[in-house]
Amino acid sequence: MIEGGARLDGAVKICGAKNSVLPVMAAALLAEQPLRVPNAPQLHDVGTMAVLLRELGASVERYADGGVEICAEGPLSDKAPWETVRKMRASICVLGPLLARLGRADVSLPGGCVFGVRPIDVHLKGFEALGAKVRVEHGFIVAEAPKGGLRGAEVFLGTAFGSSVTGTANVLMAAVLARGRTVIHYAACEPEVEDLCRCLVAMGAKIEGIGSPMLVIDGVERLGGATHAVIPDRIEAGTYLSAGAMTGGRVRVTDMRPVHLSAYLDRMREAGLPFECGPDWVETQPQQESSGAHGFPPRPRPTDVTTQTYPGFPTDLQAQWMTQMCFADGVSVINEVIYPDRYMHVAELARLGAQVRRQGTTAIVQGKASLSGAKVMASDLRASAALVLAGLAAQGKTEVYRVYHIDRGYEKIEQRLIALGAKITRAKE
């Protein structure tokens, strides 16, 4: 429940990246020794991955300081059950490690956010290139390595929507224990994939081309334990920067990597939203002139955005940016090419008075001077964040329902917004 109109002010420290820690946790299945992640965020998805790893036979210990330690000494099960996998799409990341370690994996087709079909064909294509036999039966992916184990190969992982982040991660984790050399062409270059590579190298993997679209992996017989701190969450950072900009406040987002948000910050400049940038922080700047409801700053300039694979504009910030453009002085165009159906938030923003028209993969946003609070329903993780942002900047009271989605990717978001001056509370429905 949000009372709009409070100007945010203060500093917020960014947590470890959700999209990095989940595949890193899955990578623990590749070794018998413990893998420790000292900065694992306290998220529902991290808890789901911990449950899944325990069901597969690993031990998972969560420390008071936020760290997590996973030991997959064994014996391990090769079957990941539907009851857990259905809750989170990232569960598919255990497929590659199980196949490489055990020679067989039996993993339910995954669930997750409901904004359209996200096929896993590229995962299966990669495993088959490594010599595995793969089939889908009774809702499960069954992958079996040939006698003697997986073998290195040339693999092209491009899709109609660009490179695949989870596909690259899955095939990469299978390849590190394959015999010989694997070359992944059109590998995803996202910071989270680079982070996984560095974790695997710390465990003893041999990987070249980290951060590039071509990864060269020389398989090793076994991996060992390691301690690996994951990168800061760039999507969380962008969300809090939007919160600061939309309320006209001075919000410093710390412990982040601005280079990971270059496309987002470029759009901030284009929209005329002032900010200052340091080596590991970005701070939104209040504008001198005030106008509109609640004395908020001048309306931003409209922008055109097309989501792209890294280093382009992140699809995971599309909903938040659309909300920001709902207040722009003019018409903005947003083109969602990564997940074309990722527009579940449009109808809910309309309940707040936003003027957004969707045409295929494109959304046309007619900015307004203000929105008005209303009851809205969250449909997925990033849509939840967008609706919270809208509530912070809207006039009156906004109630966001189904906020369990937001707990999947934002640690204690209402507490951290309250610390910045937001008027927000959580209540049971």
Distance separating the N- and C-terminal Cα atoms of the chain: 11
Alpha carbon distance 64, 61 (integer Å) = 10
Report d(CA 190, CA 173) in Å as an integer.
Answer: 16
Q: Is 113 an annotated catalytic residue? A: yes
Alpha helices in 352-429 (DSSP H): 381-393, 413-419
Residue 12, phi then psi, degrees to nearest 5: -135, 130
Q: Are 242 and 226 in contact (CB under 8 A)?
A: no
Per annotation, catalytic residue among 113, 189, 199, 326:
113
Tell me the H-state helices in 9-60: 18-27, 44-55
Q: Report which DSSP code applies to 115.
A: S
Q: Are 219 and 153 in contact (CB under 8 A)?
A: no
Rounded Cα distance between 265 and 241, Å, is: 10
- Other C-beta atoms lying within 10 Å of the C-beta of residue 144: 18
Is residue 57 within 8 A of residue 77, CB to CB? The reply is yes
**Alpha carbon distance 326, 80 (integer Å):** 42
CA atoms within 13 A on the CB side of 42: 8
Question: 399 - beta bridge partners?
Answer: 375
Query: Within a 13 Å sphere around the CA of 57, how many CA atoms are in the beta-carbon half?
Result: 15
Q: How many CB atoms lie within 10 A of CB 213?
A: 16
Q: Are 220 and 176 in contact (CB under 8 A)?
A: yes
Residues 345, 346, 348, 352, CA torsion sign: positive
- How far is residue 207's CA from residue 210's CA, in Å, rounded to a whole number? 7
d(CA 284, CA 300): 13
Query: In whole angstroms, what is the distance from residue 351 CA to residue 34 CA?
Result: 49
* Catalytic machinery residues: 113
